[in-house]
Amino acid sequence: MKNYINIGLFGLGTVGKGVVNQLNDNGSLIKKRLGREIRITRAVTANPDKERGIDLKNIQISNKINDIINDPEIDIVVELIGGIDLAKSIILQSLKKGKSVVTANKALLAECAEEIFNAAYTSKGLFGYEASVAGGIPIIRNIRESYSGDKIMEISGIINGTANYILSSMSEKNETFLSALKEAQEKGFAEADPTFDIEGIDAAHKLILLMNLSFNAIFDFKSLYIEGIAQIEPIDIEIADDFGYVVKLLGKARDDDKGFEARVHPTLVNKNSILASVNGAFNAVQVMGNFVGETLSYGAGAGSYPTSSAVLGDLIQIGRALSSSDTSSPPPLSFQIEHLRKKQILPIDELETEYYLRFTVLDKVGVLASLTKSLGENNISIRCMIQKSKEHVPGLPVAVVILTHIAREKDIRAAINEIDKMPIVTSPTRLIRIDP
């Protein structure tokens, strides 16, 4: 057996450079743990001549995909370029050749799960993707291995650091969404194009991956309900605070009697809950198993080094398997391949939870009666209500906020639809679901 493991690295961006630096710094420590050296022999990147300010000696760099895929000396391919088509082709070709693969590409794994995991199950190579969810938190390994004796009932978490950073800034510094986003970009917590983060798409990719692992199936990404944070206004943060809540972008999935409920949206979380204290760019994932009970994992959710650390963990685990005669690694999704089939997510209309409703209405007699009548007629029971206005100026709009008892999403939408058509309503009603 060789006393080293050869890596072919696709991508020398934020995460790729982190992997190179971590291996440069911790290489000898890793060798003591693995018993063999991990060395990056080749890297493929779009602009091979770009100056990157890191030590790349002994790495042959090119822009030709086949330089890695066709190199028989490469044991593990690390895909860190992101995107769908090229990354998919690299991973499928590498697995087909029997090479092991490590990736951080949550978008690809969520949107093309069936194709990628089919290839991973049937390849001679091993497959690691710890870096694709919540960076430095080893949540995939926890679910796939440590909780594999449990029936997982529920997963919920703050799984997008950028959105959490923005909501935390809005809450702590009274900022608007746009100024909090600008600050997050200036401090490097948000990308120049933050669409995936603020629209909840990145969190949705991660939630689907956690669901696939937890609920023994492949879930259709397109059927997941996703709502981002761009509509959250300082007034919502302020009123939520008055009621004892903070606003968080939560990904939540449950396996209950009716089926699988799953969604990503801003949520009012009780100030006394552990998730409420997860601030800034940090992530936290709660897993509820039928025997382990409630568990929480917390840590840095993204960034060069928390993510490279997860990549290195996978490389060492695969390196150990390649070094031993025992080939019984855990299956890529924790269950056996015959369960690799699609399951449906319940439509959001079926959801039953509590709601925060902020109506913007004219400040005049009879307004509250009109709102409560419509809610009552749609089976929605009111838990509490406040009117927020600095002074009483007849004819000017005010915010009326109602918190409901548990209601059905379908009924809530029907009521809002009815109320928003009333002449007393001056702006569309804002809805935020409450984590009861």
Residues that are catalytic:
206
Two tokens, residue 212: 């696939």
Residues in contact with ligand NAP, total (CB under 6 A)?
A: 24
Two tokens, residue 266: 């801003």
| Residue 12 binds ligand NAP (CB under 6 A) | yes
Q: How far is the CB of 63 from ligand NAP (least distance, A)?
A: 6
Strand partners, 251: 157, 264
The nearer residue to ligand NAP, 302 or 361, going by C-beta atoms, is 302
Strand partners, 300: 282
Q: Which residue is nearest to ligand NAP (CB)?
A: 13
The nearer residue to ligand NAP, 11 or 194, going by C-beta atoms, is 11
Q: What is the footprint of ligand NAP within residues 129-158 (CB under 6 A)?
A: 131, 135
Q: How far is the CB of 54 from ligand NAP (least distance, A)?
A: 11
Instruction: Report the candidate in 240, 266, 184 with the shortest Cα–Cα distance to residue 175.
Output: 184
Residue 111 · residue 209 · CB < 8 Å? no
E-strand ranges in 201-281 read 218-219, 225-226, 245-256, 259-270
**Residues with Cβ within 8 Å of residue 412, at least 6 apart in sequence:** 355, 357, 378, 380, 404, 431
Q: What is the footprint of ligand NAP within residues 274-333 (CB under 6 A)?
A: 302-303, 307
Q: How far is the CB of 46 from ligand NAP (least distance, A)?
A: 4
Two tokens, residue 430: 């804002």
Q: How far is the CB of 169 from ligand NAP (least distance, A)?
A: 19
Instruction: Report the candidate in 108, 53, 119, 52 with the shortest Cα–Cα distance to residue 79.
Output: 108
The nearer residue to ligand NAP, 78 or 371, going by C-beta atoms, is 78
Q: Could you tell me which stretch among 42-50, 164-172, 323-331, 392-400 binds ligand NAP (CB under 6 A)?
A: 42-50
Q: What is the footprint of ligand NAP within residues 63-92 (CB under 6 A)?
A: 63, 80-82, 86
The nearer residue to ligand NAP, 88 or 430, going by C-beta atoms, is 88
Q: What is the footprint of ligand NAP within residues 406-425 (CB under 6 A)?
A: none
378-396 as b/e, with b when 16 or more CB fall inside 10 Å? Answer: bebeeeeeeeeeeeeeeee
Q: How far is the CB of 131 from ligand NAP (least distance, A)?
A: 6
For the chain, the distance separating the N- and C-terminal CA atoms, rounded to the nearest angstrom, is 56
The nearer residue to ligand NAP, 209 or 287, going by C-beta atoms, is 209
Task: Count CB-CB contacts under 10 A for residue 323.
Answer: 15
Q: Which residues bind ligand NAP (CB under 6 A)?
A: 11-16, 44-47, 50, 63, 80-82, 86, 104-106, 131, 135, 302-303, 307
